[in-house]
């Protein structure tokens, strides 16, 4: 294979991966993460701070507070490293992409 071919292939590979990175996660991706990490304390049975996070509408209605709580490391309670995990980053990039 010529150098020219390789360059073209590398360009294609880079192009597709950056397109993927720019794509924000969907609620379908985020819902199970919030379910596992938040809904036991912010759901239908227990809703600390009167906050429910078990639907897309309720999550988005509280978007600012949720971003702040995760970014500050305050939530989920007792796991201040969560914002640096894949799950935490996924939830933050979903919320940050919502206008």
Which is closer to ligand HEC, CB of 22 or CB of 43? 43
CB of 34 to ligand HEC, least distance (A): 6
Tokens of 31: 């819902």
Which is closer to ligand HEC, CB of 10 or CB of 49? 49
Distance linking the first and last C-alpha atoms of the chain: 46
CB of 50 to ligand HEC, least distance (A): 9
CB of 39 to ligand HEC, least distance (A): 8
The whole-angstrom separation of Cα 74 and Cα 80 is 6
Tell me which residues touch ligand HEC (CB under 6 A): 37-38, 40-42, 48-49, 51, 53, 62, 65-66, 69-70, 75-77
Q: How far is CA 7 from CA 3, 19, 65, 91, in A?
A: 6, 18, 46, 35
């Amino acid at each position: 294979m010529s150098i020219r071919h390789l360059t073209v292939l590398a360009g294609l590979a880079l192009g597709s991966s950056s397109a993927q990175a720019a794509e924000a996660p969907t609620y379908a991706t985020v819902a199970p993460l919030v379910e596992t990490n938040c809904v036991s304390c912010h759901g239908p049975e227990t809703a600390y701070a009167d906050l429910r996070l078990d639907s897309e509408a309720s999550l988005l209605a509280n978007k600012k507070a949720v971003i702040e709580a995760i970014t500050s490391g305050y939530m989920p309670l007792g796991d201040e490293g969560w914002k640096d995990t894949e799950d935490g980053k996924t939830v933050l990039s979903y919320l940050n992409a919502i206008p």
